[in-house]
């Protein structure tokens, strides 16, 4: 379980996040929604350690996490699928997947079959360069790469952005499968309302760097939630 309380974040002099209280449980998909520029991605960055938070606390399974670097967060079981996918364009698909071995003991340095079951297309493209894949394939690669790290918390930042519907559907299935497995907390930042609504257990709606409201998805009326999220 990942928990934050009063988390704040600054870029230089400007404050982006104003005290976020947030909980994500294993076996659940916690969705963060809201329009552009409200601090969703910044929140994920604060969690992943890519940009240090300026205040507040983060606890994972009850243990408080100090301010630490992204590689330490990765070792603690947090893996992320960032916006724009950020695969390594000049590495092959296999090499991209292998970068995830950094957090695993040497004996486990092999790509589990589960990855290819979830994303069969990657098996065919193992020796292609990551940069040569299409957007949808890159997205699958990025998710696969994050899964190999065997995370306790999985962060996904707009995985459907610029992706064709068939792949979106597939990503949806994967997320449902992972949720059913129940061994990781999934935090999903998403603007594609239908997609997010269909998957999420919990929802947090952000507005101008703060949580405007949150709760179980089932407790909201769909139309009300959509209106709240849109503009």
Q: Which of 25, 27, 88, 123 binds other proteins (CB under 8 A)?
A: 88
Least gap, CB of 45 to other proteins (angstroms): 7
- Residue 30 is a binding residue for other proteins (CB under 8 A): no
Looking at 14-22, 112-120, 169-177, 213-221, which segment touches other proteins (CB under 8 A)? 14-22
Which CB, 39 or 136, lies closer to other proteins? 39
Return the residue of 3, 32, 51, 171 that touches other proteins, per CB under 8 A: 51
Candidates 59, 191, 212, 214; binder of other proteins (CB under 8 A) is 191
Do 91 and 45 meet the contact criterion of CB atoms below 8 Å apart?
Answer: no
Phi and psi (nearest 5°) for 42?
Answer: -60, -35
Strand boundaries in the chain, DSSP class E? 2-11, 14-24, 29-33, 55-60, 63-65, 78-81, 153-157, 185-189, 202-207, 210-216
Interface with other proteins (CB under 8 A), residue from 21, 98, 121, 123: 98
Toward other proteins, which CB reaches closer, 67 or 90? 90
Whole-angstrom distance, CA of residue 98 vs CA of residue 130: 12
Of residues 6 and 165, the one with the C-beta less far from other proteins:
165
């Amino acid at each position: 379980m990942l928990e934050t309380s009063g988390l704040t974040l600054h870029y230089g002099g400007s404050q982006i996040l104003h005290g976020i209280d947030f909980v994500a449980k294993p076996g659940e998909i916690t969705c963060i929604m809201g329009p552009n520029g409200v601090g969703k991605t910044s929140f994920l960055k604060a969690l992943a350690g890519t940009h240090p938070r300026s205040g507040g606390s983060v606890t994972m399974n009850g243990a408080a996490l100090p301010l630490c670097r992204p590689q330490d967060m990765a070792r603690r079981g947090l893996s992320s699928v960032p916006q724009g996918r950020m695969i390594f364009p000049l590495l092959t698909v296999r090499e991209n997947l292998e970068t995830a071995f950094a957090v695993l003991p040497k004996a486990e340095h092999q790509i589990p079959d589960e990855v290819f079951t979830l994303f069969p297309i990657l098996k065919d493209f193992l020796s292609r360069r990551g940069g040569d894949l299409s957007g949808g394939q890159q997205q699958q690669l990025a998710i696969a790469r994050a899964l190999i790290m065997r995370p306790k918390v999985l962060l996904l930042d707009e995985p459907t952005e610029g992706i064709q519907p068939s792949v979106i559907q597939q990503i949806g299935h994967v997320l449902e499968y992972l949720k059913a497995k129940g061994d990781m907390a999934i935090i999903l930042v998403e603007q594609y309302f239908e997609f997010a609504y269909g998957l999420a257990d919990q929802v947090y709606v952000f507005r101008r760097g703060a949580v405007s409201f949150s709760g179980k998805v089932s407790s909201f009326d769909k139309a009300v939630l959509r209106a709240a999220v849109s503009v």
